[in-house]
Structure 1
Amino acid sequence: MSMSDTFHLKIAEFLITQINNGTYACGDRLPSENELCAQFQTNHHVVRLAISRLINMGWVATYQGKGSFVKSRPEAFPYSLSAKTGFSSNLKGRPLAHRGQLMQWEKRHPMPHEARYLDLEMHEYVYDLRIKRFINEQPMSLSTTVIRAHDVPDLPDFLADFQSLYKILSEHYQIRPIRTKSIVQAIMPTLKDTDLLHLPENVPLVKIESFARHPSGHPFEYNVSKIRSDMCRYVIDF
């Protein structure tokens, strides 16, 4: 790839640096296309590519006839990955409004990999819960949690006013799952992910596949979460 093919990336990175260092604050108008063309000695096509990149990454919004303006961006908060931390416990004591929304649930037989992870026979049952989580009413993660049905009898009785799965487990079953392993991977969002999380086009997700045990020692939970990479900074506690 030649320098001419990537020059718009240089312009985009320059503008991001200017936003990060406070030269342009939220709501400020960026230089016009003509001003950027003159500043970087390039043409309108290259400048438009740079601005499109900033739009796709969620840094700016463009309005016809007015120009491009810096957008507010969610502040990344520390998210700890340790044996006993969950979404709510990570945010405890922080001035951030947070909640979970149960999008759907079902009781079913486990899939082969779930049966293997949870030490179940294929004829046994699991609860499958799909949860969307919010910070300050901004969608930040999509989670699929699969737990052994035998450990949580009558779980549907407690799902009507859902706020937090771990709150239900603690209050009604005296269970605090213990995370034993997490696998972290950067992925690009699907179209559905982008829609559900109100995600800018080119912002990747962090996929975290986690395994947790029941306090008594047996496998209890298998979870796959997809989290906005621009909203979290991950802290690994050893």
Structure 2
Amino acid sequence: MQTVHKERKMPRYVEIADLLQEEIENGKYGVNAKMCSESELCRRFRVNRYMLRQSLELLQNMGLIRSHQGKGYYVCEKPLDIRYTITPAMRFSDVMRKLGCTPSARLLRQEKAQPPEHVARALQMDTGEQAYRLEILRYADGIPLTWNVTWLPEAFVPGLPAHLEQEPFQSLYATLESVYRMQLTRIWSTFQAVYPSAQEAGVLHISPNTNLLHIESVMRDEEMRLVEFTSAKYRGDLCQVSIHF
């Protein structure tokens, strides 16, 4: 039986998927190579087909393998290899286009609320002041790449939800520029490696054991107002981030 090392308390099918992912990334299976059959993998891990197929489905959702009916599973090329550079004025859409990728975004949720203390402090908001909270999933070539939670003080972007709902959502910065005449500049960012929550793993199509790069940033406009706080979580399996200030 193959030993599966436990770094976190994960379901067995996730542990198996993680080990197979490691083998793929280490070159045990080349691109377009046929993987071992379901029967062989079931014997190797001593699990039933139902559990094994959960592992293989997770790898398919991550874009690592593909299934051919009646033939088995084959290793895919890496769907993305993003070299993402953060600059004071960078925009996700512009960076993706320069890399030859097609950017897109989906607004998952929006609400008006009082921000948590660390966000209010970062934006220098008064006690009780409210802000718009946006959950945005960003894609490159149709593949989910980053999960963003963004806060914008209501006082600076009045009526924002109505503008975001007028047409299919594409870019928050395009709305800020066209409606509010804002050009934002990054003034600071912090970086941390984290594991995804169950919700983040599901939305980003990754294993719960996949590292994310968590970047928190504050942006200001030309009037030096602190307009945006964003918590962005980038897929560590597809993206490398560098800083250029």
TM > 0.5 fold call: yes
Letter in 1 for 2:121: R
Question: Quick one: structure 1 residues 106 and 73, their matched pair in 2 at CA, closer, same or farther if it must change by over 3 Å?
Answer: same
Letter in 1 for 2:233: K
Question: Quick one: structure 1 residues 211 and 10, their matched pair in 2 at CA, closer, same or farther if it must change by over 3 Å?
Answer: closer
In the alignment, is residue 203 of structure 1 matched against residue 210 of structure 2? yes
CA distance in 2, matches of 1:113, 1:201: 26
Alignment partner for residue 26 of structure 2, among 5, 17, 32? Answer: 17
Question: Quick one: structure 1 residues 194 and 5, their matched pair in 2 at CA, closer, same or farther if it must change by over 3 Å?
Answer: closer
5 Å-filtered alignment, 1:211-222, equals: 211-222=218-229
How many residues are matched?
221
Alignment partner for residue 194 of structure 1, among 190, 194, 201? Answer: 201
CA distance in 2, matches of 1:147, 1:70: 42
CA distance in 2, matches of 1:10, 1:195: 19
Preserved CA contact (<8 Å) 1:111 1:122? no
Could you tell me how far 1:13 is from its partner in structure 2? 5.7
Segment drifting more, 109-118 vs 208-217? 109-118
Question: Quick one: structure 1 residues 232 and 11, their matched pair in 2 at CA, closer, same or farther if it must change by over 3 Å?
Answer: closer
Question: Quick one: structure 1 residues 144 and 13, their matched pair in 2 at CA, closer, same or farther if it must change by over 3 Å?
Answer: closer
CA distance in 1, matches of 2:216, 2:30: 38
Letter in 2 for 1:159: L
Structure 2 unmatched ranges of 5 or more: 6-15, 47-51
Larger radius of gyration: 1
Query: What is the SS of the residue equivalent to 1:226?
Result: strand
Query: What is the root-mean-square deviation in Å for CA atoms of aligned residues?
Result: 3.3
**Percent of aligned positions that are identical:** 28
Structure 1 unmatched ranges of 5 or more: 37-42
Match of 2:244 in 1: 237
Could you tell me how far 1:94 is from its partner in structure 2? 3.8
Segment drifting more, 61-70 vs 198-207? 61-70
5 Å-filtered alignment, 1:1-238, equals: 16-18=25-27, 24-26=30-32, 28-30=33-35, 44-45=44-45, 59-60=64-65, 68-160=73-165, 161=167, 162-238=169-245
TM-score, structure 1 normalization:
0.77
Question: Quick one: structure 1 residues 63 and 235, their matched pair in 2 at CA, closer, same or farther if it must change by over 3 Å?
Answer: same
Could you tell me how far 1:174 is from its partner in structure 2? 1.6
CA distance in 2, matches of 1:221, 1:15: 39
TM-score, structure 2 normalization:
0.75
Preserved CA contact (<8 Å) 2:96 2:140? no
Preserved CA contact (<8 Å) 2:24 2:75? no
Query: What is the SS of the residue equivalent to 1:215?
Result: coil
